[in-house]
Structure 1
């Protein structure tokens, strides 16, 4: 515990809590403070947005494939039948089907990361809301998990396509890579995610949209980013 405390104190000294770092500088500091740990830390971005989380018109929710991936894969299932089920399986889905798969999930099986559904199955899949909703795994057209092109969605999400949704405090969280990524790859991913969120500003959101943006590793202090509006 003492060693961890010393390491954390050392990391804190590398980060100026009063500064908003340009992306280039932020990534250099991030690489420095995440080096030397015993595992490959996950890099996260958190953005505090100028939205009213209670207003449905201002909800920020979606999915995006980052240019350099996130350094990990996801377990994906697909609610689909016929030839499209075979295509989804070939694209990387760990389980495919409709009635049998719905029963399996309804019985409590949720050992997967993402559920994709074809629109024609949603009348049945919708009944899984009480199981998948609390886990954040309910298919939705808003984040691309309800789609007619199931195979493509399976391939993208299995490869690490990320989902995001603002929380009750108006914050959006996302994994943008690993500490082992080259600086250029991290910068490209972070920039892509921030710009994606910028384009989602609701018309009813007034004033500053991105109030604060920070990047951090699993065990590192947050580094505040300088973000152009």
Structure 2
């Protein structure tokens, strides 16, 4: 019989039906955290929506007050003064047609793509490239904006995008195990409240059905929905 790994042993010993408060869940994940690397703390939220219907799509942006603990790579489509401002704000790559050609060649190692409105004619040619990766700039998400300087700062400073997947689930990181408990809880609350506020008009019945917290190597813990404002 194959030996169980430490992670498998932890998961086998956990009561999978137990409901945790957020504080207890964070403490439990910390208790079982790896000593070898800084694990990401992740949330999964099951929603009572069917994203195949336009009026049940859940998508938006939220700034996590304690940041993400991740180095976010940002590409910006801009010219002239806006290009200079984006570079000064910390964008990893700034360009126009040259950036488009670079992406068409397969160089897509970015977490966020931002564009000024006048650049959408160029960016529009990348729909089949950026769309499947969820990187297409969108004015509703603030990634098509004349204020690229602020958009880059927001992306680098802890702003995350959330988007419901086919099965009605949103997955997102809310920080690292190296964060203190209070910061992880603040990020948890900011994200869950933003998702509750983003409830679409087509959602009927129970909206937030299940929430769980886990870490890269840790167990999945069910969270008490009573701790989520508006759930």
Task: Indicate whether the TM-score tops 0.5.
Answer: yes
- The equivalent residue for 2:87 is 89
- TM-score (structure 1 length as normaliser): 0.93
For residue 131 of structure 1, give the secondary structure of its aligned residue in structure 2: helix
Q: Does the aligned pair in 2 maintain the 1:31–1:183 contact within 8 Å?
A: no
Provide the rounded CA distance (Å) in 1 between the counterparts of 2:10 and 2:28: 12
Task: Say yes or no: does 1:31 pair with 2:35.
Answer: no
- The equivalent residue for 1:121 is 119
CA positional deviation for 1:103: 1.8
Q: Does the aligned pair in 1 maintain the 2:7–2:217 contact within 8 Å?
A: no
Gap change, CA 1:12 and 1:144, over 3 Å in 2:
farther
CA positional deviation for 1:10: 2.8
- The equivalent residue for 1:166 is 164
Structure 1 window deviating more from structure 2 (3-12 vs 42-51): it is: 3-12
For residue 72 of structure 2, give the secondary structure of its aligned residue in structure 1: coil
Aligned residue among 142, 145, 148 for 1:147: 145
Q: Does the aligned pair in 1 maintain the 2:45–2:210 contact within 8 Å?
A: yes
Q: Does the aligned pair in 2 maintain the 1:73–1:159 contact within 8 Å?
A: no
Provide the rounded CA distance (Å) in 1 between the counterparts of 2:101 and 2:7: 48
Q: CA RMSD in A?
A: 1.6
Unpaired stretches in structure 1, ≥5 consecutive residues: none
For residue 60 of structure 2, give the secondary structure of its aligned residue in structure 1: strand
For residue 134 of structure 1, give the secondary structure of its aligned residue in structure 2: helix
Instruction: Give every structure 1 segment of 4 or more consecutive aligned residues whose post-TM-superposition deviation is greater than 3 Å.
Output: none
CA positional deviation for 1:37: 3.1
- TM-score (structure 2 length as normaliser): 0.92
Provide the rounded CA distance (Å) in 2 between the counterparts of 1:183 and 1:222: 17
Provide the rounded CA distance (Å) in 2 between the counterparts of 1:104 and 1:18: 49
Aligned residue among 212, 215, 223 for 1:214: 212
- The equivalent residue for 1:59 is 57
Task: Say yes or no: does 1:175 pair with 2:170.
Answer: no
Q: How many residues align?
A: 226
Provide the rounded CA distance (Å) in 1 between the counterparts of 2:120 and 2:163: 21
